[in-house]
Amino acid sequence: VLLEFGAFSGLIGGTIGFFIEHFPGIEFFAVSIFIVTYHILSDFTSLKVRTKASQSVNNLLKLQPSTAKVLRNNKEEEIPVEELNISDLIRIRPGENIPVDGKVAEGSSSVDESIVTGESMPVEKQTGDEVIGGSMNKSGTMIVKVTHLGEEGFLQKVAHSIEEARALKPGIILLVDKILKYYVPGVLLFSGLSILIWTAGDFLLTGHIDIVRGIFAALAVFVMGYPCALGMATPLAMIYGGGKAAEKGIIIRSSIAFQALKDAKIIAFDKTGTITKGKPEVTDIIPADGVDKNHIIIAAASVEYLSEHPLAEAIVNYADKNNLSLSRAENFESYPGKGIKAFIGHNEILIGSLNFLETKSITISDNIRQISEKIEENSKTVTGVSENTKLIGIFAIADTIKEDAKDAIKELKNAGLEPIMITGDNKQTALSIAAQIGIEKVEAEVLPDKKLHKIRQLQNPDYKVIMVGDGINDAPALMQADVGIAIGTGTDIAIESADIIIMGDSLMSIPAVYHIGKNSYKKTVQNLTLAFIFNGVGVPLAVTGLVNPIWAMVAMVTSVSIVLINSFGISIFKSEKKHETLYHSPERKKIQIDHLCFHRL
């Protein structure tokens, strides 16, 4: 509205200048042209940003090949991805992009997931590991079982989340929208007042009517009141913040999260899969006297290969990582909740808890028993292995803590957040893990439906609560929290329930997104303050007639420039170098998903 009034007023004034001598028609024309040109440039900039965003989403999806090499009837056949079915087996060779989401059925390789997670180092993939469509196979050949197709694919869901995020507005933007509803009528009122002052007011005081000055004052009010800086002030810092987050493999699905992060005081963590890797691993092997360590591994892994227990997978994976060839095990028997038995040649192999082995007449020495108790004090599971009624060694297996968990908690504490662990695991295990990473407050043995109530109890009108999780049991708590952060390696329902998605599994991304959100909001408030100061001072000043419309245009451009410099001139994330995880690959630079979120100019 103000654009139309300003442009048409300048046009009318310029036209009058053709017919009335000494009337400043050229200045009126200049203002009209300046206003329209500047508005067109602003719209062009906005269009470029939105177009770039759409292209970035498309480029992200183009990472997935259009064809796949499927294995059917013992033959390899290249077909369009659209013709794939769930559970199809596809072969991916070194240097090829993985066409769809799946799980490694055979082989192993290092996979470059940088474009998805922001992690610079390739990730080692083995049998049973999940792979993301669009990532690149770097070394070995893999047979992958298809698990998701079409819109259910990880990248498709990310692209959809990004599109949804653009439609969401945080409270501060809604507030600005409400202000603008009254702002335009207010500027029109001031414009009319300026004409009234320099016509009727001037006549009452001096007996003369200065119509030219009155029109100039009204035009200057239109220019000063044009809410370009005010309209750009709010989204620009959030656009930049969303970009910095995306560079680090973080998708901010809700722009409301920016404001909530700024007010956060408590951050609650799930344990399994969030603080820990969520996958049991062998941490220690203690051989009996005179027994070779590799002999224990081969014997145990050969038998465990026939089991589907999670601890069995940990032992088999350990053997695979150490490039040990397994033996053929036969006559497999399972004792649910206790252990397993099988034969390798004529040798009977028993695997299970030490108590189970004792029931099978296996002697456990006092030394092994003491070592076992110390291991269990560190929240690890002890699995014994016997061969022909003799104990040959024990395995210590645990869901290991992520390497960066301690550093992430320390960073969050330094930022003023109080970390809390909320887990369904037993208290001893929870306290042990919490102590190792620096979390003092622990809520253990919390059932899935009670996590939501725990978050609700923590919430307070004076501050916000962040919840970080990855599993189905975390979804209600993620939705209840003021900010829900899902680890991208977790379940679909957890990701769908979250405001922020960490595309990899690095916990250092959490302090990164906290700083980004907090500083983005700070920049937004600064921009709004600057814009309101300009409009609040400029409009009343223009009413006085002391500001020529040309200089009003210069002032408007200056205010917009200040907002731009404030948004982009200073790094939003002060500790950026410390947490930098962006992989500077050519593909990464080309995709530029840093501007996928919150494009609103």
Which residues belong to the active site? 270
Q: Which two tokens stand for residue 267?
A: 């951050």
Which residues, at least 6 apart from 151, have a Cβ–Cβ distance to it below 8 Å? Answer: 157, 160
Query: How do 102-107 and 483-487 pair as beta strands?
Result: unpaired
Q: Which of the 8 DSSP states describes residue 272?
A: I
Q: What is the strand order of the sheet 329-335 is part of? A: 276-287, 390-401, 381-387, 347-352, 339-344, 329-335
Q: Give the chain's length.
A: 601
Tokens 């009319």 belong to which residue? Answer: 192
Give the integer Cα–Cα distance in Å for 237 and 224.
23
User: Which ranges of 322-383 does DSSP label H, i.e. alpha helix?
Assistant: 354-359, 366-377
Give the integer Cα–Cα distance in Å for 136 and 112.
5
Residues 7-16: contacts with CB within 8 Å, 24+ apart?
A: 7/32, 7/35, 7/36, 8/32, 9/215, 9/218, 9/219, 9/222, 10/35, 10/219, 10/549, 13/215, 13/219
Give the integer Cα–Cα distance in Å for 561 and 534.
12
Element containing residue 267 per DSSP (H, E): strand 264-269
Q: Which two tokens stand for residue 438?
A: 């620096």
Give the integer Cα–Cα distance in Å for 306 and 356.
19
SS3 455: helix
Give the integer Cα–Cα distance in Å for 12 and 29.
8
Q: Which two tokens stand for residue 290?
A: 């005179």
Contact 582, 588 (CB under 8 A): yes
In single-letter form, the type of residue at position 430 comes to A
Tokens 């200089």 belong to which residue? Answer: 551
Q: How far is CA 78 from the centre of its chain?
A: 34
Tokens 């899935």 belong to which residue? Answer: 448
Element containing residue 349 per DSSP (H, E): strand 347-352
Tokens 């090949």 belong to which residue? Answer: 65
The residues that bridge with 80 in the sheet, in sequence order, are 67
SS3 357: helix
Closest CA to 451 of 478, 418, 428: 478
3-state secondary structure string across 528-555: HHHHHHHHHHHHHHHHCCCCCHHHHHHH
